[in-house]
Amino acid sequence: MLNGGDHRFRDVVASALGWWAEAGLDTVAGEESRDWLAPPARPRAADPAIVANPALVADAAAAVSAPAAASPLPDTLAALHALLATGDYLPQPAPPSRRIAPSGTPSADLMIIADMPDTDDRDHLFSGETARLFDAMLAAMGRDRTGIYLAPFSPARTAGRLDERQNEALARLMRRHIALAAPRAVILFGDEPARWLIGPLALQARGGLRSLNHDGGMVPAIATFHPRHLRRMPALKASSWADMRLLPGVLAS
């Protein structure tokens, strides 16, 4: 038992397991088989033309380290919505996923960003099993879906975890999205948007307002658990509600 008995201990365990789930650790084995007894791969021989020419060595190193030229970002919400719907920036979606567009009121003072659609979302975010809990959370804040702007960090569920380059591309687009919507406060549901828009320890260091840096400046933000996660671990609801109680003071100022 820990500081108050079994109930407190269960909360601590649920919180720890929840953090790992939000971080994407949901299995102890890789998805592909591996021959652990195979000898290590031999390094590939260098191209003789490059070895013979030091200038080519420098050029090759620069080509590997230099990021690809970033495409221009939309300068209106309408153009950004079109990019979300048809752009080729998305990683490979998990079949039969399709893109979920932002919903609600783009001019609302509160913007909510979820990591990605749930498997049972159809026309908008939180249209499946998490809908009732999400609507109850909004009602507790004195809101409904028309009083917020709701957007996914990734408009489609992906076939696997995103790599660093994919997450950086989504974060770059979302920072422009926030700048164009210009909310007065932001809620981040899930680890990925918190990690890539605020910092790698944002969700772990919950319990306070954070500053989210976007293309138009800074906006107060709260990182908290995704409603799908709260459905699996109800013991975390109190912590999530404590996070969101910080918002009324920000929005009223």
Mean pLDDT of the chain: 76
* Over residues 67-79, mean pLDDT: 75
Residue 83 has pLDDT above 80, yes or no: yes
* Contact status, residue 75 vs residue 179, Cβ threshold 8 Å: no
* Length reported for the chain: 253
Q: How is the chain split into domains, by residue range?
A: 77-252
Residue 158 CB partners (closer than 8 Å, separation 6+):
91, 92, 93, 94, 97, 116
Cβ atoms 161, 191 nearer than 8 A? no
154 closest CA partner among 171, 133, 135: 171
| Residue 12 parent element (H or E) | helix 6-22
Quick check: bond before 96 cis, omega within 30? yes
Predicted TM-score (pTM) of the model is 0.69
- CA 19 to chain centroid, in Å, comes to 14
Q: Which of 110, 134, 112 is nearest to 121 (CA)?
A: 134
Collapse the DSSP code of 229 into the 3-class scheme (helix H, G, I; strand E, B; otherwise coil) and give the result.
helix
CATH T-level topology, domain 77-252: Uracil-DNA Glycosylase, subunit E (3.40.470)
pLDDT score at 91? 55
Per-residue model confidence as pLDDT tens digits over 147-200: 999 999 998 887 667 778 888 889 999 999 999 999 999 999 988 888 899 887
Average pLDDT over residues 100-126: 92
CA distance 112 to 189: 7
Which residue's structure tokens are 């929840």? 18
| Contact in structure between 116 and 130 (CB atoms under 8 Å) | no
**Which segments within 34-97 are labelled E, that is strand?**
none
- Predicted confidence band at 206 (pLDDT cuts at 50, 70, 90)? low
What would the DSSP string read from start to end of 55-121?
HHHHHHHHHHHSPPPPPPPPSSHHHHHHHHHH-S-SPPBPTT------EE-TT-SEEEEESS--TT-
**In whole angstroms, what is the distance from residue 165 CA to residue 70 CA?**
12
Phi, psi of 248 (to 5 degrees): -55, -40
Q: Amino acid identity, residue 30?
A: G
Separation CA 214–CA 171 (nearest Å): 10
